[in-house]
Structure 1
């Protein structure tokens, strides 16, 4: 059910401008029937200005009329057109790593490169919050601190969670399996079965050439022996 904006103000307006029952108003606004009764009696929401649910696009006049004709009917709110505008943009930015842990990134990179070569540089970069330049330097051992780098699990260093690491590995493994399957399928289509290429005539010609080679070798050996 769509959450009603300003439920008490909406209840005030419905109590003052419609003949809906307390239960219908309470159900629509997400309030208790006794609280709606208190609004009608003036004991609750004193000084609260009513909010027109029709004007703000949460309810239609026909919906109210239908509910007024049937006390058992429960109104359904309309999702406001501007509701999505209030949704925050949840695009993930670069992972922030505390300054105290940044010096351990090369150790984590070395561990990932050695133990999970299927991970792309982009995945490693997002996983531990580093740059592709640093990853390449560690892989090529051109990093300024290369002699002191010790491969260490990034999870134990606190640079990423085990869940994130497993998810990245699973995604990369699935991508590699798909690529290998596509290559295998393409190779099967390109190759021609052996039985189609090896015809009886070809086998006969091959056998004849082998016999000629054996005879040449045999007579050549005898001639060399007689000369000696």
Structure 2
């Protein structure tokens, strides 16, 4: 059932000017019965001025009289022919002030990675206007040199499911028109659930440069196995080489000869000295 405009103010007027029960007023304005009782006690809607439903073509006097006579009677809005068929205006979604400065970056991302989306779809998705989208498409935006493409989901301007849905609709419309998509465009149509279910691909370290081949395993090639023969441990670099037995024998003989010659020389000096 349709509800009156300014429901709380209408409830205040009905409480102050009629003897209708709290339940009847609550059913008519779409509020809880205890909330209407709080209005009567002065605990709720303090300072709210009553809104007359009679002068504003929302109720008739006959409807109010019937409700006062029968506590089980449910009041209905007055039929207003001018309001029939009137729907809520549909436009761009509301964007908080703190995120409005991020909309150009999200528009540039959508234009760059999803060119199949129309201006109307982008406008409804991130809450912007068509002139802004057109200016970014044609790169005539006043701040286009400083705009960097950023995913609108990361910025919080829309949900991932909403983005997937609108991209799939655009792809279906494009397929119906007979246009063929390339491989890159098909990869963009993968939904979040499908992408999360895919196995993780091995990643090559980005810090490695100048290598023509790279393997993720520990398998060594034949050339690598040959190169390992030249690898020495730390002890081999600092260990002194052992002397050979022949060299040691020669050194011992030279030492004996030197001692013998020294003893003979000492004996000669003793003979030359006069005896007392």
TM-score w.r.t. the length of structure 1 is: 0.42
Q: Normalized per residue, which structure has more helix?
A: 1
Q: Which has the higher contact order (CA 8 A, sep 6+)?
A: 1
